[in-house]
Each structure stands twice: as C-alpha cells, then as structure tokens.
C-alpha cells in the first residue's frame, strides 16, 4: 500500500512525533526557579484564603470585598483608595513591579485542615506568590506555618491571638492586626473608669488559640485593676446556642460577663445574654455589665440593639477622620454601598503593604519582601504612624476602644470611639511573657 | 504472577500505571487555557486522591466484604494522623517510623472499638461506631487539647525533642518531613510545550504505599479469609449453623480496615505535618462511606474511583467562583450569561456539596453498583456491538461476572 503514503493518520502521527521531539529539549526548563512561584512577566497571582462558610463567614465576605478593591486599586482601576494617602508612594497603579495583579480565592471553612489544603492548592495549582486572609487565629497560625514551609509570604488578615506573632511567629508571616495583649492594655483603664475596681468577672471563651489568648490578657489586666475572676468557661467555636453556658452566670456571684467570642459566636452569645435579662440584673449591688473585648461593626449589626453601651476594642473604625480612613471608606462605600469593617480594612492594608514591599525591594522573592517589611515605619493607612517590628513581624499602632451606641442613627453607625489609646502605651517589649516560646526562624524562598 | 490470577494481575497493573502516570493523566489541559481550572495534577490533590483511595480500600474490606457499615472510620484516620505528628515531634522527621506507629496505634484502637461494637450488627453496629467516633472527636477537639492541640490542630515546633533528628534547621525553621533524606514537599515541574507537569516526591511515595495497600487488599479479597468475610455478608446465621464463629473474622476485618485508615492518616501528616480534629468529624466518616458506595462497594477498584471522584469534585468545584463562570459564558449575550451563572451559582464554590449530592443521587438511582457497574455496562455495550459485527465470541461477557472483584 505504498501509494497512500500521505494518509491523514500518517501525517498526524508524524506531526505528533515531531512535536514531541521539539518539545523534549524544554523538558527541564521549569525547575530553574529562584523562588517558589516566581511570577511571569505579565501578571502575578495572589491567594485570598478567607472563611466563606461557618461562624466567621460574614467577616470573610467583607475581607474578600476588600481584597478585590485592593486589586482594583493596585491595577490602577477605581479611585485608588489609600494609595494616595499611603506614606510610601512606590505604588503607581500599574500593578506590582509592572505586572498586573490577579487573584484566586479559597474557603478556609474556619478549619485548619481545610484552610491549609486550600492554601496548598492555591500555591501548587494556581501559582500564588502570596497568601493572605483568615478570620480565625487557629487558621492563620496553621496557614502561616504552611507558607513558611512552602516558601511564600503570608500576610495575616484578621487574627487577634497573641500566638500569631508570639509562640507561633514565622519569618514569612506578617500581621497588621492588633492582638489580645493590646486589647487588654487599652481596655483596662476605660473599664476601671466605667465600672470601678471592685468587680467579679465571669468569662465565656471560644475554645481555641484566640479565645485562650484573649481570656488570658483580659484576666491579667482586669485582675491588675483589682477585679476578681469567678470562673472561666470554654465554649466550642460555632456552638450556635449558648444558653446552657449562660444559665449558670446569673447565680455565679459575678457582676461582669466577659465574652471572649467573635463573629457569629459573639452575635449569638451576646444576644442570648441580653435575652436572659443579664443586663437588667443587679449583682453585688451593682448593675450587671457585659464586655466584648474584640468588637466589630459586622458583629454589632448582627447583634442589633443588644450592643448598646457595651465596651470593646477594635483595630479600626470607618468613622475615623484621618485622610486614609476617609479615602478607604469612600472608595469601599462607592463600590459596595456600605462602609467597610475592621476585617476589610486590615486585609486591604495588608495587600497594599505587600505590594509596596515588593515594589520597594524590587523583587517578589520572599526574602526581599521580609527585608523590606521588617522595621518598616509607615503612615496614612488609617491607624496613624505604624511600625512593622522586625523582631516579631507585628504592627504597632493606636488601638481604638469603642462602645455600642445607645441610639444609632443608621445601620452602620453602631459603634462610637471612646478612646484612641496611643501606640506608645500599647507597645510591649519583645520579651513579654505572653509572647515567649517561639522564634521567627529565617525567611524561606522555597525552591 | 505475584500470586494473582490473570484478571487481578491486569487490574493491579492498570492501577500501577494510573499511579505512575497520574501527574500527566490528571493534567490534560494546557496551563494557559481556560480549561486549566479542571486540571488535577498538582501535588496536594494527587496526594489526597491516593490517601483517600487507601482509606476507602481499607473501608471496603469491612463494608464491601462483611457488609458491616461503620460510621466511625474517620476516628482511626485521625488517630493515625495524631500518632504520626507525635512521632515526628518525638523521634525523627523520617516518615517511616511515623507511618508504622500510625498503623499500629490505629489498629490497637480499632481492636478496642471493634470488640465492643461488633457485639451488635446492622444499624446498632453503625450507631455504636458513630458514637465512638464522636467521642474521639470531642476528645481531640477539646478534652485532650494538650495532646491534640484542640481546635488549632497538632503541629510541629522548634521546641520538639526529635531525638533522632534536628530540632530546627540551620535557618531556625521547623524541619520538613522526609523519607531517608528526600523532602516530601520536593517537586520538579516539567514544562512540555504549553503543558506543565509536577513530579513530587510526596505523591510518588504515597503512590508506592497505595500500590502495596491495593495489592494486599487483592490478596485478602481472594484468600479463604476473604471468602469467610463474604460468607458473613451473605448469611451469618447459616455460618453459625455450620459451626463457624463469625466474630473473629469480622473483628479481624474491622482491625485491618482500621489499620488502613491509620495508614491513610499517617500519610496525610507525612505530606502536610498538621493534624486537625475536623478530619475525625462524623462527616468525614460519612464521606468514606459515600466514596465506597459511589465507586462500587465490594469491588476492588471501586473505592479508589469513588475516593478520586469525591476529592476531585471537592477540590475543583469548590474553587470555581462566579467570575470564573462569567469567563466561560462571556461570548454569550448578557441576559443568557447572567441566567446561566445564576443557575450554576448554587452548585459551585461553597455549594460543591450540592453537586456531590446530585452525583450521588444519580449514581445510586441509575447505577446501584457504583461507577464500576457503569464501566461494566459500557464495556458490555461495546463488546456486544463488536460481537454482533464479527464472529460470535462465546464467554467474553461472563468473565466479569465470575470476578466479583473487578
């Protein structure tokens, strides 16, 4: 059958064989990378790993909005937000180092396992060069460890436990958000003024690293005021119904309830505590009070009128009058129709800080980013002058003490800022006992 | 060969070929194309496919052969994981001792639970295993926090003793799991034109273990012991009347499947050294039941396929978001695009469970024997067509029926 030498099949076979032959020399080109997921010339991928389901889903949704806004601004779309108020003007709206910013998202499900798996797939499949997000300290610590091993940068989102930059700190991980030590420090004098120094406190605590850390800090600072801790009870995250934990509170002899809860848990426990009539109760001759050490606007909206007059601390609030906060609130409000939460703010800022560090360092190499961020002093991002401390990768800035408004005018204006505790007051030394037992190690650029 | 008959050997070779070429087979789409979304050839997912394959193979030895439906196997998986991490904390980052300890400890615990649970059968057995698993979950989640790390999970740190290894690397970081000096996380990317394939140590290590686990399962299926287990499933009373006590057989099957689960748990932490309590939750136990049924309970390859399908759906469908779907339908008119996105929205991203549910309903309704039955039906269809055209080939249709394991 030599007459049919150019059959379709024959041509295809020959073509395929040639293709394989031509491709063979390129077979080992991929492994020669300077660091994990070195981006190409046109675009760079960031990984946004936030809780989209579970007790912290509201925070996660708001974080995602902030990330998308940050990406817009980095790519020079929208009104630029805080890029114009940021003290560093390295970013010019042409992406990062001239590469267009793209992103992938993942769901942490507020579970360490799921979050690590989601982060791994972003790094391995989508080639993410930086992972950011998390609305739970347990998750943030787990993902931070993963990023350290994988050789990418982790810019922590909302994580408030001391351990994130204490016992479990890592060289590739950075936290802009404040921590429970700062919360306790800022709240203590306000609580002393409002409720006196002779109080008996009952703690309900979310049973994971953040809850333990928050409980510990609140105990340390309230006991220093002269308060007595009656009892501390641990509740599972995402419990939904807290009535069985709240019932014993009324007859415990306590006159203050400290809710070390966050997100959906705080909304449920606070609402139920108010429904139980705890706030109308008298105990030890004083009005019964409730304190929520870590407060956010999203939670305030969820809890409704239950939050009236309740004290707490927060990282940032949209009603702040500085230029940066105003610019961010304006651009977030224009895009989404409502003001941003503190979770959104910290995530937006972290994205900008990462982009800026890459731009200033001139490289996406994690070690260059670490070098650019360590000991970096900046301003104009809503919290006043801020320092990224080199020793533990924690940001030091002012802390807000807030109170639930008595008669809020609208759905968003639910918290009033009572006090802005200055950065000098809440700065703690690196050898603070609550932050011991860990080390940063060294930056890991991966392979 | 290897003590296997011809059909089993063929099946074993197919499994090995699938394992060896998985990084290429699972990456059929070029990196730059829009379909790259559906590529599964990255280490995290491939490792999961293999690990849950092992888990399901083991579960199938209990459920597929004896018919005892355990709703608590995730507990053994979790115990395997915690044991593995503890071995890496105390002894060495080499994963071999960790895996051995995982299997042994999971086996011991399953002996205990099996001894109690197997006093009942049917729904009562299922409830007992579920209760035990939930007990272990709460132990891990809160009661035993000092041992298990509670909600945050058990992870390595630079303070761990690690008697036969280093506490921290030269850079002050936590060492990574290895097998005799090879990093588990080490991976080489091969660029092949528009395609790129990731060859990772961790995956191939897990794949070798899976090949061994599969071989062992085939031998158990074909052994007199396997026949006894089948006898338990078909009629336990008759077995009793012939003077055979089924309990030792079921207990052995329970312990073997518990050890498989422990092995899977140990492998999970060998790939990623953090053990979270969620992997012991009852939903995780339910998942392995789904895997086995979806693939085909009582068949050899079914559980592997079922595990693969579920983990693939979980990893791929859950990362598709609205903007991706908008990208697919961009060429369509706006109203059609938006309608399609609205229709698809509940099934993607965090709604992937809904997709899984639909697949499960379809399989159970139309293919009660799972994916394997679907494959057989397809095979028979083609075979019949061919035999209609050519000379009749008697006997080809019946070979599969005689081999319940295929």
Sign of the alpha-carbon torsion through A318, A324, A330, A333: negative
Query: Would residue A298 count as lying in a domain?
Result: yes
In a domain, residue A214? The reply is yes
Nearest by CB to A120, which of B188, B193, B272?
A: B272
Angle ∠(A45,A47,A50) on CA atoms, nearest 5: 155
Domain containing A150 — which CATH number? 3.40.50.2300
Whether residue B244 lies inside any domain: the answer is yes
Q: In B, which residues are within 8 Å of A107 by CB distance?
A: 318, 349-350
Are residues A132 and A52 both part of a single domain? Answer: yes
The verdict on A274 and A387 lying in the same domain is no
Residue B224 domain-assigned? yes
Mutate to test the interface with A, among B30, B151, B190, B283 (most CBs of A within 10 A): B151
Tens digit of each residue's pLDDT, chain A (447 residues): 444 455 666 555 655 555 544 444 444 444 456 888 889 889 999 999 999 888 888 889 999 999 999 999 999 998 999 999 999 999 999 999 999 999 998 888 888 888 998 999 899 888 899 999 988 898 999 999 999 999 999 999 999 999 999 999 999 999 999 999 999 999 999 999 999 999 999 999 998 899 999 999 999 999 999 999 999 999 988 888 999 999 999 889 999 999 999 988 999 999 999 999 998 888 888 999 999 999 888 888 888 888 889 999 999 999 999 999 999 999 999 999 999 999 999 999 999 999 999 999 999 999 999 999 999 999 999 999 999 999 999 999 999 999 998 888 888 888 999 999 999 999 999 999 999 888 898 999 986
Asked whether the beta carbons of residue A30 and residue B188 sit closer than 8 angstroms, the reply is: yes
Residue B389 domain-assigned? Answer: no
B 224-283 → A contacts, CB under 8 A: 272, 274, 276, 278-279
Distance between CA A357 and CA A339 in Å, rounded?
27
Two structure tokens written together for B310 = 């579920």
Instruction: Provide the number of CB pairs (under 8 Å) joining chain A to chain B.
Output: 129
| pLDDT score recorded for residue A13 | 60
- Cβ separation of B319 and A121 shorter than 8 Å? yes
Q: What pLDDT does B23 receive?
A: 92
Residue A433 is assigned to a structural domain of this protein? no
Q: For residue A150, what is the nearest residue in chain B, using CA coordinates?
A: B185
In DSSP notation, A187-207 reads HHHHHHHHH-S--EEEEEEES
Q: Which residue of A has its CA nearest to B152?
A: A138
| Record: contact B274-A113, CB cut-off 8 A | yes
Q: Do A442 and B315 touch (CB under 8 A)?
A: no
Nearest to A245 by CA among A229, A260, A228: A260
Note the pLDDT of residue A240.
82
Name which of B137, B153, B169, B273 to mutate to probe chain A: the one with the most chain A Cβ atoms within 10 A of its Cβ.
B153
Segments forming the whole domain that contains residue B171: 6-281
> Domain check: are A345 and A296 in the same one?
no
Which chain B residues are closer than 8 Å to A444 by Cβ? 171, 173
In this predicted structure, what is the pLDDT of residue B289?
93
Indicate which of A117, A143, A210 best probes the interface with B, i.e. most B CBs within 10 Å of its own CB: A117
> Is residue B350 situated within a structural domain?
no
Alpha-carbon torsion, ordered B70, B75, B81, B87, to 10 deg:
-110
- Residues A437, B159: C-beta atoms closer than 8 Å: yes
Burial B10-43 (b: 16+ CB within 10 A, else e): ebbeebbebbeebbeebbeeeeeeeebbebbbbb
Residues A136 and A55 in one domain: yes
Mean pLDDT of B87-115: 95
**A186 and A298, same domain (yes or no):** yes
Whether B361 maps to a domain, the answer reads no
Per CB-CB distance under 8 Å, the chain B contacts of A53 are: 350
Contact B150 A207 (CB under 8 A): yes
Q: Mean of the pLDDT values across residues B72-96?
A: 95
pLDDT tens column, B286-336? 999 999 999 999 899 999 999 999 999 888 888 787 777 887 888 888 888
Residue B70 is assigned to a structural domain of this protein:
yes
B391: confidence class by pLDDT, cuts 50, 70, 90: very low
Which residue in chain B is spatially nearest to A149 when comparing CA positions? B176
In a domain, A307, yes or no: yes
Contact B172 A441 (CB under 8 A): yes
What is the number of domains present in chain B? 1
Here the CATH number for the domain that contains residue B129 is 1.10.3470
Q: Are residues A85 and A132 in the same domain?
A: yes
Are A81 and A146 contained in the same domain? yes
Task: Report the chain B residue with the minimal C-alpha distance to residue A437.
Answer: B159
pLDDT at residue B102 in the model: 97
Give the separation between CA A426 and CA A428, rounded to whole angstroms. 6
The residue written with tokens 């009236």 in the block is A308
Total of domains in chain A? 2
Could you tell me how far CA A224 lies from the centroid of its own chain?
29
Contact list, B187 vs chain A (CB under 8 Å): 124, 447
- B69 within some domain: yes
Measure CB to CB from residue B171 to each of A124, A141, A441 and give the nearest one. A441
Closest Cα partner for A66 from A339, A404, A428, A438? A339
- Name residues 10-49 of chain B within 8 A of A (Cβ): 39, 42-45, 48
Inter-chain residue contact B185 with A150, CB threshold 8 Å: yes
Q: Are residues A330 and A245 in the same domain?
A: no
For residue A209, list chain B residues with Cβ-Cβ distance below 8 A.
151-152
Residues A192 and A280 in one domain: yes
What is the predicted pLDDT for the residue at B330?
Answer: 83
Q: Which positions in chain A touch B171 (Cβ < 8 Å)?
A: 441-442, 444
Query: Residue A235: beta bridge partners?
Result: A206
- For the cut 50, the answer to whether the pLDDT of residue B159 exceeds it is yes
* Residues A67 and A165 both lie in one domain: yes
Where residue B400 falls among pLDDT bands split at 50, 70, 90?
Answer: very low
Which chain B residue shows the shortest CA-CA distance from A24?
B192
Is there a single domain that holds both residue A104 and residue A48? yes
Domain carrying residue A345: 43-178+318-397
Q: What is the mean pLDDT of residues B251-261?
A: 97
Q: Is residue B333 part of a domain?
A: no
The residue of chain B with its CA nearest to that of A142 is B152
Q: What is the DSSP string of A227-286?
A: -EEEEEEEE-TT----HHHHGGGTTTT-SEEEEE--HHHHHHHHHHHHHTTGGG-EETTE
Residue B359 has pLDDT above 70, yes or no: yes
User: Nearest-CA residue of chain A relative to B41?
Assistant: A125
* Residue B188: per-residue pLDDT: 87
Residues A50 and A173 in one domain: yes
Contact A104 B319 (CB under 8 A): yes
Q: Distance, in angstroms, between A418 CA and closest chain B CA?
A: 33
In a domain, A404, yes or no: no
User: For residue A30, what pLDDT is reported?
Assistant: 43
Last residue of a domain, one of A314, A345, A371: A314
Tell me whether B153 touches chain A (CB under 8 Å): yes
Q: Which of A280, A299, A314 is where one domain is finished?
A: A314
pLDDT for residue A16: 57
Please answer yes or no on whether B190 and A27 come within 8 Å at the CB atom: yes
Residues in chain B closer than 8 A to A124 (CB atoms): 42-44, 187, 198
Question: Has residue B406 got a pLDDT over 70?
Answer: no
Do residue B191 and residue A142 have CB atoms under 8 angstroms apart? no
């Amino acid at each position: 059958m030599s007459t049919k030498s150019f059959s379709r099949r024959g041509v295809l076979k020959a073509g395929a064989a040639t293709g394989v032959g031509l491709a063979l020399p390129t077979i080992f080109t991929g492994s020669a990378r300077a660091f994990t997921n070195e981006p190409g010339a046109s675009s760079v991928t960031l990984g946004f790993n936030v809780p989209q389901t579970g007790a912290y889903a509201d925070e996660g949704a708001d974080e995602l909005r902030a990330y998308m806004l940050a990406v817009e601004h980095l790519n020079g779309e929208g009104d630029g937000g805080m890029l114009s108020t940021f003290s560093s003007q390295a970013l010019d709206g042409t992406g990062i180092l001239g590469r267009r910013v793209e992103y992938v998202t993942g769901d942490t499900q507020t579970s360490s396992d799921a979050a690590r798996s989601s982060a791994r797939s972003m790094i391995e499949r989508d080639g993410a060069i930086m992972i950011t997000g998390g609305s739970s300290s347990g998750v943030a610590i787990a993902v931070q460890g993963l990023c350290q091993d994988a050789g990418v940068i982790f810019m922590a989102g909302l994580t408030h436990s001391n351990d994130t930059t204490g016992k479990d700190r890592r060289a590739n991980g950075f936290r802009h958000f404040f921590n429970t030590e700062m919360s306790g420090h800022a709240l203590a004098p306000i609580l002393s003024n409002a409720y006196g120094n002779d109080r008996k406190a009952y703690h309900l605590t979310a049973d994971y690293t953040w809850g333990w850390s928050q409980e510990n800090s609140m105990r340390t600072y309230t006991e220093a005021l002269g308060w007595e801790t009656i009892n501390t009870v641990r509740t599972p995250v995402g419990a939904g119904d807290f009535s069985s934990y709240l019932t014993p509170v009324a007859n415990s002899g306590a006159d203050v309830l400290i809710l070390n809860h966050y997100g959906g848990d705080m909304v449920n426990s606070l609402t139920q505590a108010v429904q139980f009539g705890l706030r109308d109760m008298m105990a030890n001759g004083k009005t019964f009070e409730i304190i929520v050490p870590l407060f956010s606007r999203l939670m305030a909206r969820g809890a409704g009128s239950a939050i009236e007059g309740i004290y707490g601390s927060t990282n940032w609030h949209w009603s702040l009058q500085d230029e940066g906060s105003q610019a961010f609130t304006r651009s977030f409000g224009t895009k989404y129709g409502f003001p941003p939460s503190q979770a959104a703010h910290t995530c937006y800022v972290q994205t900008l800080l990462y982009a800026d560090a890459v731009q200033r360092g001139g490289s996406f190499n994690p070690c260059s980013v670490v070098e650019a961020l360590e000991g970096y002093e900046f301003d104009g991002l809503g919290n006043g002058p801020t320092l990224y401390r080199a020793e533990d990768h924690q940001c030091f800035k002012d802390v807000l003490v807030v109170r639930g408004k008595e008669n809020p005018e609208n759905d968003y204006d639910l918290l009033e800022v009572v006090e802005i505790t200055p950065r000098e007051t809440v700065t703690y030394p690196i050898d603070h006992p609550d932050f011991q037992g860990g080390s940063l190690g060294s930056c890991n650029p991966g392979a | 060969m290897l003590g296997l008959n011809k059909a089993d050997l063929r099946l074993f070779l197919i499994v090995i070929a699938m394992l060896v070429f998985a990084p290429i087979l699972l990456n059929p789409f070029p990196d730059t194309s829009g379909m790259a979304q559906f590529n599964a050839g990255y280490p995290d997912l491939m490792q999961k496919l293999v690990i849950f394959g092992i888990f399901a193979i083991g579960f199938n030895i209990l459920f597929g052969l004896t018919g005892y439906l355990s709703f608590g196997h995730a507990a053994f998986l979790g115990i395997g994981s915690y044991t593995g991490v503890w071995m890496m904390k105390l002894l060495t980052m080499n994963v071999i001792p960790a895996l051995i300890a995982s299997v042994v400890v999971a086996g011991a615990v399953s002996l205990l639970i099996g001894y109690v649970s197997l006093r009942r059968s049917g729904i009562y057995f299922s409830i007992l295993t579920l209760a035990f698993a939930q007990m272990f979950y709460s132990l891990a989640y809160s009661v035993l926090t000092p041992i298990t790390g509670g909600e945050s999970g058990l992870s390595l740190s630079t303070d761990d003793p690690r008697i036969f290894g280093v506490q921290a690397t030269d850079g002050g970081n936590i060492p990574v799991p290895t097998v005799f000096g090879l990093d588990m996380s080490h991976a080489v990317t091969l660029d092949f034109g528009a395609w790129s394939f990731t060859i990772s140590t961790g995956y191939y290590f897990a794949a070798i273990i899976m090949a061994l686990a599969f071989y062992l399962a085939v031998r158990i299926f074909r052994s007199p012991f396997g026949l006894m287990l089948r006898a338990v499933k078909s009629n336990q009373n008759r077995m009793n009347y012939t003077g055979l006590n089924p309990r030792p057989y079921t207990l052995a099957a329970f312990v073997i499947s518990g050890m498989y689960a422990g092995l899977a748990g140990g492998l999970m932490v060998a790939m990623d050294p953090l053990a979270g309590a969620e992997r012991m939750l009852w939903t995780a136990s339910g998942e392995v039941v789904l895997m086995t049924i979806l693939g085909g309970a009582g068949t050899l390859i079914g559980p592997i396929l079922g595990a693969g399908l579920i983990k693939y759906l979980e990893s791929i469908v859950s990362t598709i978001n609205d903007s991706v779907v908008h990208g697919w339908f961009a060429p369509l008119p706006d109203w059609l695009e938006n309608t399609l996105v609205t229709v698809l929205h509940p099934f993607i991203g965090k709604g992937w469970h809904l997709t899984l549910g639909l697949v499960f309903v379809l399989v159970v309704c139309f293919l009660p024997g799972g994916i394997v039955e679907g494959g057989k039906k397809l095979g028979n269809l083609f075979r019949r067509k061919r035999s209609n055209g050519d000379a009749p080939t008697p006997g080809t249709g019946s070979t599969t029926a005689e081999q319940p394991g295929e």
